[in-house]
Amino acid sequence: MVDLRALASEIGFKRAATYIQSGNLVFVADSTPRASELKLEAGMVARFGFTVEVLVRTLAEWEVLLGNNPFPAESAAEANRVMLLLSRSPPKPDAVTALRSRAKNGERVESGKGAVWVYYREGAGTSKLTPALVDKAIGSKVTARNWRTVIALRDLALEVARHDQAT
């Protein structure tokens, strides 16, 4: 994560911070989210020698996602069983229906402001909603973050924004 923060600084992002060993990066940039994605992807190839699809969301976009969590009670009780699924492209119109048809053991699937949320009652590790199935249903590669991580990233982004505004 030290190398990721260093890369972010090298390509012009300010206040780069990471959350645990998860590949999550929070930063301040003058570029659009899409331009930031492209800069990070190119930087990763140049510095590390491999390609990674990067997703960037602004703090405002992140707050909207959090505000549209369809599983607030489950998130409070079992934060690690509620997942926010994000993709670069908006989910296909029938993504939720397709995933619901494969959900088992009390799993629930909902949409919310350009994302898909899943409550894994028995945990994601035993789910039949495999990454390949989810990618296919949504229509592009997906990355998932549990509610605990979603909140931690929001808090980190708020801290970074406060420090940036103070200087």
Distance CA 20, CA 31 (A): 25
Position 1 scores a pLDDT of 84
Query: How do residues 14-44 score in pLDDT, each as one tens digit?
Result: 999 999 887 899 999 999 999 999 999 999 9
Position 21 scores a pLDDT of 82
Position 84 scores a pLDDT of 98
Residue ranges per structural domain of the chain: 2-56, 61-146
Residue 73: HSE in the Cβ half-sphere, 13 Å Cα cutoff: 1
Q: What is the DSSP string of 122-151?
A: T-GGG-S--HHHHHHHHTS-EEEEEHHHHH
Q: Are strands 82-87 and 24-28 parallel, antiparallel or unpaired?
A: unpaired
Distance CA 123, CA 100 (A): 16
Residues of the chain with pLDDT under 70: 167
Position 164 scores a pLDDT of 75
Whole-structure pTM value:
0.92
Distance CA 56, CA 40 (A): 10
Write out the CATH class of domain 61-146: alpha beta
Position 167 scores a pLDDT of 66
